[in-house]
Amino acid sequence: MSETSKTVNMKKFTIMLSVLLIIVVTVLASSYMIYCELENQLKQNLEDVANQNSLALHNKIHSNFLLLESLSENMHQVTPETIDETLQSFNIFLDEYGLKRFAFCFPGGASYSTDGGVANLAYRGFYQRGMEGKATITGVLIDALEEHHLQVNVMTIPILDDNGNVTGVFGLTYDSQDFNDALQIDCFDGQGYSCAFNSDGEIMVAMGNDTLQLSENIFSDLLGKDSRNDDAIKMLQNQIEAKTSDGGTFYLEEENYYYCTPVNLMGGDVTWYMLTIIPANVLQSRAMPVQNSLYLMTFVVVVFILIGAVLVVMLSRERKNMVLRHAYEDSLTGGANYARFSMDMGNKRGRQGYMIAMDIANFNNINIAAGKAAGDAMIRNVWEILSQELHSDEIAGHVQEDLFIIFLNSEEKEVLVERLGRISTRINRLAKELQVKGIHSRYGIYSMQGNESLEDAYSKAQIAREQSRTQRDQYYTLYNEMDHEKLQQDQQLEERFEESLAEGDFEVWYQPKYSVLSGNVVGSEALVRWRDKDGSLISPGRFIPLLEENGMISKLDEYVFRAVCRQQVKWLDEGLKIYPVSINLSRASLYFADIVEKYMAILQECGVDPSFIQLEVTESAMEGKADISGLLGRFRNMGIQILMDDFGTGYSSLATLSMKCFDTLKLDKSLIDHIGEPNGETLLYYVINMGQKLGLHITAEGVEKISQLDFLKENHCDDIQGFLFARPMPSSQFEQMLKETT
């Protein structure tokens, strides 16, 4: 062999060896990186699951706490002679909330319960803390009031008199195991498990694994058995002291990842800690297939460099496909995302069919009422329904939150509507199972002819879906059948708004409020009407949603406020007897930092007494406004009373009432319509009683029947508003009414 050939072969060998070394190093590095990435994803998922479990636990206990607080208003005047009757009236809540009993402890420890039990509980820690004025949730106790001595937890709050002295301890008891079973949440395909423990380490809730048992101590009974957990125990104890969230590893026979986060309960008086655990071998089982493939490829490359080169190419393609799968797979549903939908549409030969933009109306109500975990489960179930209803050559994708995109093949409109109706029916069943009202699917439909771009077609479908928001009798809108004339009219209304406002085309109408007892006028609500150029009235249902959507509603709020102030002063100057007028304040107005100063300036400019002006705020308008209590308090300091409008339509009304920033509670017509039904009347009785116990004035809206008036009078409602007495009327007609009463 010539020297030249030897040199060439040596170069080839060097190149091959270099390639081999590069491949080996690359494979090992890739394996390490993949392992690290999977570990980071696992830890992040662990944190998300812990937070979801914490939210579920908080919501479960907080609902009991709110119930306990609301019922405690009835306990201030109880005596040993009246306690049994008072407690028996609470039995209606036991099954609804899954409770064993309510109980009240008098000073000295004598305890009376809803199941008739009488015992002295002075030795119980929860009684002693209650007498110190502290709310609490106990650890797992042996039931002292039941002969079977089951495990229970007790939640208590102190009852204070007007001087702040403790007059007793009021509490509820729930079965520890039933409460534990109600919070069972599967995570990591059943391989993960969780527990909630108190600051002493006692396990309050155990989910998903027999390793964790109620009443065990996380430190002494579990972690303390293995010396390798010394650092983890110190870390958890430091977290408890600082009330912070963090994660790490510890050993329960095998290595486990954990994440621990505090859960504030009982208005912040009690803190539990949610500990979510997953065995480390879950990560190893996820990483092992990838690592084994890489190691096998490395071995093959070492033995057969040519075969190895082919395998490297295959590995590169596989890794590329893996990246593509991550790019095109929706993380929540596990199905196609918008990018995958777009790619599949680009690969379709025939694109004639229906492009559909779908969403879930009032989806946020699920997150509020049932928690984010329930909302995520709803999205996954909706995706499963879509997957089952699609034909083989049809596609769909999850865009974000509650938004979906669907492509259905071209067929008759009647068949299309029937298919969408079937999907809607199945989705409605899911909402009924969650017991959340107002949930339904909506569809915007665009008929594609094959030559439009995906972006244009989807945009038109979205426009149609937005149009369906305003339709009550139909859950879908076809873009080609949309009322484009109405869209143009809506656009014209938006363009005319400023001019009409300046020219005074908006009129203030008044709907009187009447005393339930005397039947006399005691006030009114200001309502706005838009007078068109031809003299006809534009329905508020047309222009109010438009102004709320574009934010111009705040200008209309200020216009009505100023008009009412001026009208009140005018009537007063004319010697008429005037009454307080309530004016609606929208969400958009609440977000202006200077709203209080602006309205104060109007009051001073008009010279009206603030006691003749009231503001109505709906619960939905308060969402997302962190300092709402302080803002409404500033209005009240001005002398303006605040009314909670539409009470009974929201999902956090009790929590909102606890802010104590309202003077009047306006019961929504949906509650009044249930008068005549036993459950509806029971609910109204407690709502009225609770509101008045909180010092609130009670107004009933939408009263249309004598039977409704009789019920409200019997239950001491303060005043009413509705068609039974008067409909909304122009200011001139209302002025005539004032003249007749002056």
Question: What is the rounded (10 degree) CA torsion for 37, 41, 43, 49?
Answer: -170
Specify the 3-state DSSP secondary structure of 264: strand
Q: Which candidate, 548, 560, 544, places its Cα nearest to that of 501?
A: 560
Specify the 3-state DSSP secondary structure of 174: strand
Supply the pLDDT for residue 624.
47
Supply the pLDDT for residue 651.
46
- Do residues 375 and 367 lie in contact, with contact meaning Cβ atoms separated by under 8 Å? yes
In terms of C-beta density within 10 A (0-12 exposed, 13-18 middle, 19 or more buried), how is residue 122 classed?
A: middle
Neighbours of 370 (CB within 10 A): 18
Supply the pLDDT for residue 2.
47
- Do residues 57 and 183 lie in contact, with contact meaning Cβ atoms separated by under 8 Å? yes
Half-sphere exposure (Cβ direction) of 7: Cα atoms closer than 13 Å? 3
DSSP output for 465-522: HHHHTT-SS-SEEEGGGS-HHHHHHHHHHHHHHHHHHHHT-EEEEEEEEEETTT--EE
Specify the 3-state DSSP secondary structure of 119: strand
Specify the 3-state DSSP secondary structure of 651: coil
Q: Which residues fall within 8 angstroms of residue 294, CB to CB, at 6 or more apart? A: 27, 28, 30, 31, 315
Q: Which amino acid is at 428?
A: N
Neighbours of 396 (CB within 10 A): 22
Length of the chain counted residue by residue:
742
Supply the pLDDT for residue 403.
93
The DSSP symbol for 533 reads T
**Cα–Cα distance for residue pair 632/589, rounded to 1 Å:** 12
**Cα–Cα distance for residue pair 100/90, rounded to 1 Å:** 12
Global pTM value: 0.44
Strand pairing partners for 173? 101, 154
| CA torsion through residues 710, 714, 715, 716, sign | positive
3-state secondary structure string across 607-666: CCCHHHEEEEEECHHHCCCCCHHHHHHHHHHCCCEEEEEEECCCCCHHHHHCCCCCCEEE
Supply the pLDDT for residue 560.
96
Q: Encoding tokens for residue 658?
A: 């606890």
The stretches of 230-304 forming alpha helices (DSSP H) are: 230-242, 280-303
Supply the pLDDT for residue 460.
86
**Cα–Cα distance for residue pair 436/429, rounded to 1 Å:** 11
**Cα–Cα distance for residue pair 579/309, rounded to 1 Å:** 90
Q: Which residues fall within 8 angstroms of residue 609, CB to CB, at 6 or more apart? A: 639
Q: Which candidate, 633, 675, 667, places its Cα nearest to that of 650?
A: 667
**Cα–Cα distance for residue pair 23/25, rounded to 1 Å:** 6
**53, 356, 358, 413, 524 from 482: Cα distances, Å:** 44, 14, 16, 14, 39
- Do residues 351 and 448 lie in contact, with contact meaning Cβ atoms separated by under 8 Å? yes
Going along the chain from its start, the domains and CATH numbers come out as 1-316 (3.30.450.20), 338-482 (3.30.70.270), 488-741 (3.20.20.450)
Q: Which residues fall within 8 angstroms of residue 288, CB to CB, at 6 or more apart? A: none
**Cα–Cα distance for residue pair 233/236, rounded to 1 Å:** 5
The stretches of 638-705 forming alpha helices (DSSP H) are: 653-657, 669-672, 678-693
**Low-confidence residues of the chain: pLDDT under 50:** 1-2, 624, 651-652
- At 535, phi and psi to the nearest 5? 95, -10
Supply the pLDDT for residue 16.
66
Supply the pLDDT for residue 290.
63
Question: What is the rounded (10 degree) CA torsion for 225, 231, 234, 239?
Answer: -120
| CA torsion through residues 483, 484, 485, 487, sign | positive
Q: Which candidate, 134, 92, 84, places its Cα nearest to that of 112?
A: 84
